[in-house]
Chains A and B, each alone.
Chain A
Amino acid sequence: MNAARALKVALPLGVLVVLAIVPLSATPYTNYQLSLVGTFAVAILGLNIVSGYAGQISLGQSAFMGVGAYAAAFGVAHGWPVVLSFVVAALLPAAIGALVAIPAVRLRGNALAVVTIILPIIAVPLAKRYAGVTGGSEGRSVDWAHVPSGTGLEDDQWRYYLVLVIAAVLFLLGRNILSGRIGRAFAIVRTNEAVASAMGISAHRYKVVAFTIAACYGGAAGFLYVLVVQFASPDLLNFQVAINMLAALVIGGFANLWGAVIAGLFYVYVPVVAGAVDPSRTNIFYGAVVLVVLFIVPGGVSGGIVRLVRALLARLPDRYRRFTGVDPQAGPASPVPPQPDASGPEPTPPSLRAGAGSRKEPQ
């Protein structure tokens, strides 16, 4: 177990060190792209919390991200302190998310998904209409977040580090929420609402909580977006952005923290690769990649990686036993792999643990 624990600590640390070193030698454009990956990873983590963990499909994440972006841009343009801009960018969408969720979560499945579509559909014309706040259809350009003098860094590196730190904090926070009481409640609400209410867990309440957290993450991502891109426009609110984020999450993997990171990579880099292949066929290429990934790894890339690691470990019976305490010869202990990000410090009943680990895509 010691080796496993050491690996668990060393791996994220190693990743962090690599992430900290990369921008020092990368081009500004690479840093820009990586910062965007971090930004969309945060937005998609929010989506993952409501759709992957709590099992409620949301097609409105782009609206929350857009509101956060406009709040940040508006704050910058009016000289608000940066911290205040961030707080407003995160809390305003959260408030909207909670308000919409309270009536909306009475619906289930597709009906709920349809209600969430309304958000981006109303938000785009509203953003164009109130040009005084939003800059209209041309959007609002801002010029801020320049590197403080004396650090020896460039703007792109500075913004990258800001995104990295904020995203890391938000991921850590998300991990803690999901591995605690709320996360377990989400899992049981997703798996079986009747069981949830029998256990005294209000499905209605936890769905509202999930939506609110998702909206808050969306808003924070909107702030990061304005930090990186220096621009907010109605196109960010667009329904298509929400669909693309959901598609990216399906690729990355539902109910897995790393799924959101992989989704962010996918969201940012696939259109670039597609543009390099043939700029007039980017959408077809994007669609083809989604289909290919779904055929090869139906659980998403993160699920595929976990399965691959498990298969490799299973070939080394001794080590596998030491790592997991399970004898592979006796067959897998559960139909799903143990999940590092969902196993909290508190003991969890086996039934809940199975629920939290299920990677099935909700309907």
Chain B
Amino acid sequence: MLLAAGCGRSNSSSSSSAGGSSDPGITDTTLDIGQSDPLTGPTAAPGSCNLAGWQAYVGHVNAQGGVKFGDGKTRKINLKGYDDGYDPARALANFRQMVAENKFAEVGSLGTPTNLAAMPQANAQKVPQVMLSSGSTAFVNQTKNPWTTGWPPTYLDEGANFGKFLAASGKPLTVAVLAQNDQLGLDYTKGLEDAVQGSQVKVVAKATYEPTDATVDSQISNLAQSKADIFYAAISVLKLAAASLTKAQQLGWKPSIFLASLSSNPAQVIVPGNGTAYPAIWSTTYIKDWRNPDVAKQSDVAQFLQDMQTYASNIAQKDIINNCLWGYSAAATFVRALQAMKAPTRQALMDAIHTVKANDIPLLLPGITLDASSKTTAPITTLKIQQYINGAYTTVDTMK
């Protein structure tokens, strides 16, 4: 009886912008946002680096006084990181915690299964879940999930770009695929298979692994029996990518290697995996290679390295992997959207994101443009093939 007597909360928990002039998490001087990443566990390295990249850019912007929003007010950004350990249930709990702590939006969170878990809640509660660091095609469907946006090219795009590269060589090539046993792996595999269809390139062996696996030795042993010319490593766990390279050469299988952009970092994968044993190592990229001394002198890269040192000192320079750069660049994209945001509401943020078109986002390779207006593709769709030669990546147009 007590319960039935209208004891429900008067301030409805179903947050929507209806009626209010501003949504939770935004004042005239501040914007509160949250990010959920795997900061512990096997995927901690990419997760920590992603958060560090965001913190570096946000720190840089705040130090300059904040962001001048489209409504004329200048606000500082408070970004809070949450750990999900790559566990979907914890990512969902983190999302709920963000809403409870009045975060305006979830931004840039890394991971496919984790973001998928939070996506239904985000869209039901109309809370932006944007610039996600995942190439899953699930996050680029704005008709179905209007409050969710991705940022990097999808894994489908990546697989397709590499497939076209192989097919264009005109050579009869065999490919062995090792893919993560989830949508990420499926997208990588489908992109490749669709692109090589009808060409002389054949996928001759396939295997899958779990992101929590301690080793991929048995999968590599099976793939090695195919003696394929190309080993297509659609792996997101850095240590497993390195271990797969080590294992293949132990077995005497020395194919050319394709590394997914998620695990193409030389220091964490190619060097420990003794990549020089292989005839060629390729990957795809859209981000500048800061390890190249000439590139490191460019103003945006130099600024990035300095910001990392100042605002994200928990990641030492030697530990910087691509996720740091992607995080930094995605944060810059987010700030562009804020600059176009006409009202302090979540809907206004979503509207603003779809207006962002730029070819001068920091750290993106020359020629890569970002266009967030499409509701069916990621903001970035173009990729370049790069080859690892003499300790550094060089972009290549054709197979040699």
In the complex formed, the residue of A with least CB distance to B12 is: A154
Contacts of B210 in A (CB 8 A): 124-125, 128, 137
- Whether a CB of chain B sits under 8 angstroms from the CB of A64 is no
Of listed B6, B14, B39, residue having the most chain A CB within 10 A: B39
Question: Do A138 and B113 touch across chains, with their CB atoms under 8 A apart?
Answer: yes
Q: Are B8 and A279 in contact (CB under 8 A)?
A: no
Number of chain A residues close to chain B: CB under 8 A: 42
Nearest Cβ distance between residue A45 and chain B, in whole angstroms? 20
A152 close to B8 (CB less than 8 A): yes
Q: Is B100 interfacial (CB 8 A cutoff)?
A: yes
Q: Which B residues are in CB contact (< 8 Å) with A20? A: 2-3
Closest CB-CB distance, B120 to chain A, in whole Å? 5
Number of A-B residue pairs with CB-CB distance less than 8 Å in the complex they form = 114
Q: Is B62 an interface residue (CB 8 A)?
A: no
Closest B residue to A280 using CB positions: B39
B interface residues, tally (CB under 8 Å): 44
Bound-complex Cα distance A29 to B95 (A): 10
Q: Could you tell me the distance between the alpha carbons of A143 and B6 in the complex, rounded to whole angstroms?
A: 24
Asked whether A279 lies within 8 Å of B81 as measured between CB atoms, the reply is: yes
- Is B348 close to A, CB under 8 A? no
CB distance from B340 to the nearest CB of A (A): 30
Decide: B7 and A137 in contact? CB cutoff 8 A.
no
Q: A143-B120, A154-B13, A231-B92 are in contact. Are A272 and B97 (CB under 8 A)?
A: yes
Nearest CB of chain A from residue B87's CB, rounded to whole Å: 5
Known A-B contacts A124-B210, A139-B117; the reply to A28 vs B13 at CB < 8 A is yes
- Bound-state CA distance A282–B87 (Å) is 13
Which residues of chain A are within 8 angstroms of B124 by Cβ–Cβ distance? 143
Which residue from A138, A229, A272 sits with its C-beta under 8 Å from B182? A138
CB-CB < 8 A to B83: which residues of A?
Answer: 275, 279-280, 282
Q: How far is the CA of A355 from the CA of B26 in the complex (A)?
A: 60
Chain A residues near B120 (CB, 8 Å)? 141, 143, 230
Contact of A229 with B92 at beta-carbon distance under 8 Å, contacts A24-B7, A137-B182 already known: yes
Give the distance in Å from the alpha carbon of A136 to the alpha carbon of B116 in the complex: 12
> Is the beta-carbon distance between B100 and A233 smaller than 8 angstroms?
no
Q: Name B39's contact: one of A124, A138, A279 (CB within 8 Å).
A: A279
- Asked if residues B8 and A138 are in contact (CB atoms below 8 Å), the reply is no
A282–B8 touching, CB < 8 Å: no
A117 CA to B248 CA in the complex, in Å? 31
Assuming the A-B contacts A137-B113, A235-B89, are A282 and B182 also in contact, with contact meaning beta carbons closer than 8 angstroms in the complex? no
1/0 per residue A136-177: CB within 8 Å of B?
111101010000001111111100010000000000000000
| A272 to B87 Cα, complex, angstroms | 14
Kindly list chain B residues whose C-beta atoms are within 8 Å of the C-beta of A136. Answer: 182-183
Whether B40 lies near A29 (C-beta < 8 A) is no
State how many angstroms separate the Cβ of A123 from the closest Cβ of chain B. Answer: 13
* Bound-complex Cα distance A28 to B112 (A): 26
For this complex, 17 residue pairs linking A to B, each with C-beta atoms less than 8 Å apart, are A28-B100, A29-B96, A29-B97, A29-B101, A124-B210, A137-B181, A138-B88, A139-B113, A139-B117, A151-B3, A153-B7, A157-B9, A230-B121, A236-B89, A238-B212, A275-B82, A275-B83
Q: Beyond the given A29-B99, A271-B90, A280-B40, please list 18 additional residue pairs across the A-B interface where CB-CB is below 8 A.
A: A28-B96, A28-B99, A137-B181, A137-B183, A137-B210, A138-B183, A139-B88, A151-B3, A153-B7, A161-B3, A230-B120, A231-B92, A233-B113, A233-B117, A275-B82, A275-B83, A279-B82, A280-B83
